[in-house]
Structure 1
Amino acid sequence: MPAVMTLKNVVIGAMFGLAATGYGINMAHASVTTSPENHLLSTLKYVELEAEQGDKNMQLFLGRAYLEGTNGLRADPLKGMYWLKKAATDMPEVKTMIGDLFKNGRGLPRDNKQAVDWYTQAAAEGSVPAMIELGHFYASGAGTGKTDCANAIKWFKDAANAGSVDSKRNLVWLYATCSDEELRDGERALKMAKQIIHRVGANDAGDFDNLAAAYAACGEFTDAVKAQEMALSKLPKEENQRFNKFSQRLNLYKNNKTIYSASL
């Protein structure tokens, strides 16, 4: 079996590079002269047999190869999904990958509902990237045109609890600007915004933009103006779009107005 195992390693290596080691593949003995494109079709029955017997790497390889029409295989989305679904069993990272494929329309039709379904499965199994994707999906109102603060907060909170600082930043914005008064919580937003700045340092323009929104949500407009001016001072000059947004917010705070838009 040594030659067969070498081919197996090379086939996976060609698809995933050294990142394949994350799935338990040892690339140390893979031949660099063997061309998988020249061998896959002749060994396809072996590869599919290994996949059917539960080899996750082979399932994942075949799924991507059929979706993308690579390594000598004709693109076949049905076969691609067949193998990816098998690979996804008990593998939240693969479920997240399938969600990405549906979200971006890569090898599969762009489909927000399918993407959310797969992200939700992955997030339930502990995938932090999937939690973050769900948070952005609900915060942006993708597919519905309306922000869903409750679900956005839920998933960003789960991701933040798992260590995602950016998700905690998103929570600050949501608590400070959500149009749903039952979910809007300026005091919580302000506490979290100060914690983030204390933790990561006072160098990020976005953190002060969040702090200003939190102050405004608490009705503390003088402090909101100061924080927003600090955000503007830290913003790189070439970021014209963000500069305009930050300036518009500053004018709101100067007129004692808050933001009612949870869009990130």
Structure 2
Amino acid sequence: MSRLSTGFAIAVLAVAPAAAVEHQKKPPAPQQRPVQSAPARTGAAPDLARPELPIPSFRDMMRITPHGVPSAPPEGVAEETAAPAEDPFDPNADVAFGAYQRGLYLRAYDEAKRRAEATPPDPAAMTLLGELYANGYGVSRAPETAVGWYARAAKAGDRQAMTALALARVEGFGGPKDEKAAAALFEQAGEKNEPEALYNLAVMKFERGGAPQQAVAARLMKRAAELGEAAAQYAYAVLLKDGRGVEKDPSASAEWMRRAAEQDDVAALVEYGIAVFQGAGVVKNEAEAARLFRRAADRGNAIGQNRLARLYAYGRGVERDPAKAAAWHALASRQGLQDPWLEGFVETLPPEEREAASRLVARWTEGFGPVARASESDAPPSTSPQPSAAAAPAASKP
């Protein structure tokens, strides 16, 4: 079973790959453009309109947290986070979680096991044990044991365990697949205001419930968005823009997209950047759009890199810089996002501009460069089959 950085990676229902951006409407590559002349500045830079972006899909958003306080678990088995250490003399400190968060998995296991076997047992500790066994952190990876701990914690009322167990039932991790049981668990966790459960339940209804369930799914997605889940905020923004399960509302869509972008949801950074560039449901601001594209580009998103390259080529929202345009285009191309127009633009550049672009690419991708630091979870989506008509909401084209 494939995984994300933590917990379960549920099968992606449908993802529009970064490489799937259509080119048929792009202008032909320039043939005899003077080397240093700027591209024509009539209208928007070509094809900055909505790209193909990931659509909502089942995803693992499990974040084991103490006392319901949001916090992300460590990215690597031996990696420590920037979170402060728990005070061992604080009676309210969650020592097991603190150790887990800092990558001290043996200590986290010992403390969680002690609390899980206490009288009365601690449901949160059971959930943490499930996460350790699910990922093989400090112990041998054991899906059935993980699911057993999730089930015990869920029975005791832990909403995160309900979500984890539901994800396991969808995937068939540690036991047989059972989507009916998964939906029931998502509903139980959703009643306890677990945003990840609400998000995944909404996706399940979109993908499996057909048109009659779209309004219900939209309401669930909105609840998850209101609880602060960035992926749900992005998804709900897409629903509002496309009018799926809700009335179309460009202004509200832009606002939810902004909230998701503020949490560095990469798809939202790109799409909100496009909305800001075009003034669609929000005040037009090309400089702000460029900053949003840069944040997505720094996180390794090919579409953000491509859009930023076009802005540098045109000098829209940024000072025109052919070398930076070529550099960002090169990074996007490495990920399979081809752009004939930019290819033609780069071909017109003199050797010194191309050499400068190569140096920029090396600086950005080596050592502590911004793209080198991009986490795997922020990378562009991988190629997946296109959704069916009843699948979750997709980002529409203009």
1:192 alignment partner in structure 2: 324
* Residue number in structure 2 paired with 1:124: 262
Q: Which 10-residue stretch deviates more, 21-30 or 151-160?
A: 21-30
Amino acid at match of 1:87: A
Show the counterpart of 1:136: 274
Say if 2:294 is the partner of 1:157: yes
What is the CA distance between 1:70 and its match in structure 2?
A: 6.5
What is the Cα deviation at residue 21 of structure 1? 5.5
- Determine if the alignment matches structure 1 residue 173 to structure 2 residue 310: yes
Deviation at 1:85, TM superposition (A): 3.3
Give the drift of 1:192.
Answer: 1.0
Measured after TM superposition, the shift of residue 50 of structure 1 is 3.5
Does the CA contact (< 8 Å) of 1:65 and 1:75 recur in 2? no
1:22 alignment partner in structure 2: 60
- Classify 1:136/1:92 alpha carbon distance in 2 versus 1 (closer, same or farther; 3 Å): same
On the 8 A contact 2:276/2:289 being kept in 1, the answer is yes
TM-score, structure 1 normalization: 0.54
Helix, strand or coil at the partner of 1:20: coil
Verify the 8 A CA contact 2:290 2:318 in the aligned structure 1: no
In structure 2, relative to structure 1, the CA distance for the partners of 1:49 and 1:73 (3 Å cut) is: farther
User: Could you tell me how far apart the structure 2 residues matched to 1:195 and 1:76 are?
Assistant: 42
Q: CA deviation at 1:96?
A: 1.0
Distance 1:175 1:58, change over 3 A: closer
Structure 1 contact 149–174 (Cα < 8 Å) conserved:
no
Distance 2:221 2:239 in 1: 11
Sequence identity percentage? 19
The answer to whether the Cα contact below 8 Å between 2:270 and 2:303 also exists between their aligned partners in 1 is no
Q: Is the contact made by 1:168 and 1:192 (CA closer than 8 Å) also made in structure 2?
A: no
In 2, the alpha carbon distance for the partners of 1:194 and 1:147 equals: 26
Superposed displacement of residue 143, structure 1:
4.3
Instruction: Rate the CA distance shift 1:170–1:209 in 2: closer, same or farther, 3 A.
Output: farther
What is the aligned counterpart of 2:241 among 103, 118, 125? 103
CA distance in structure 1 between the partners assigned to 2:249 and 2:265 by the alignment: 20
Tell me the C-alpha RMSD between the 2 structures.
4.3
- Structure 1: state its 5+ residue gaps: 1-12, 224-264
Question: Could you give the per-residue CA deviations for residues 145-171 of structure 1, whole angstroms, max 9, x where no partner exists?
Answer: x85312211211111121123323322
What amino acid maps onto 2:305 in structure 1? K
**1: CA distance between counterparts of 2:330 and 2:13?**
39
Q: Is 1:208 aligned to 2:208, yes or no?
A: no
Is residue 312–residue 324 contact of structure 2 (8 Å, CA) maintained in 1? no
Using the TM superposition, give the Cα deviation of residue 74 of structure 1 relative to its aligned residue in structure 2, in angstroms. Answer: 5.7
How far is 1:76 from its partner?
A: 7.8
Distance in structure 1 (CA, Å) of the matches to 2:315 and 2:196: 43
CA contact (8 A) 1:176 1:184 kept: no
Contact residue 131 and residue 155 of structure 1 kept, 8 A: yes
Kindly provide the CA deviation profile for residues 84-110 of structure 1, in whole angstroms up to 9, marking residues without a partner as x: 233232421111111111122111122
**Quick one: which of 213, 220, 226 aligns to 1:83?**
220
**Number of residue pairs matched by the alignment:** 188
Quickly say closer, same or farther: Cα 1:57–1:169, change in 2 above 3 A.
Answer: closer
Deviation at 1:210, TM superposition (A): 4.5
SS at match of 2:264: coil
Contact 1:103–1:110 (CA<8 Å) still a contact in 2?
Answer: yes
Instruction: Name 1:92's counterpart in structure 2.
Output: 230
Residues 223-263 of structure 1 show CA distances to partners (whole Å, capped at 9, x for unaligned) of 9xxxxxxxxxxxxxxxxxxxxxxxxxxxxxxxxxxxxxxxx
Equivalent residue, structure 2, for 1:60 = 199
Change (3 A) 1:65 1:73: farther
Amino acid at match of 2:325: A
CA contact (8 A) 2:309 2:329 kept: no
* Equivalent in the alignment of 1:252: none
**CA distance in 2 between partners of 1:165 and 1:31 (Å):** 34
Q: Which has the higher contact order (CA 8 A, sep 6+)?
A: 2
Q: Name the structure with the higher helix share.
A: 1
**Gapped runs of 5+ residues in structure 2?**
1-9, 15-56, 62-163, 354-398
From the superposition, tell whether residues 129 and 69 of structure 1 become closer, same or farther in structure 2 (CA, over 3 Å). Answer: closer
Q: For residues 194 and 131 of structure 1, what CA distance do their matches in structure 2 show?
A: 21
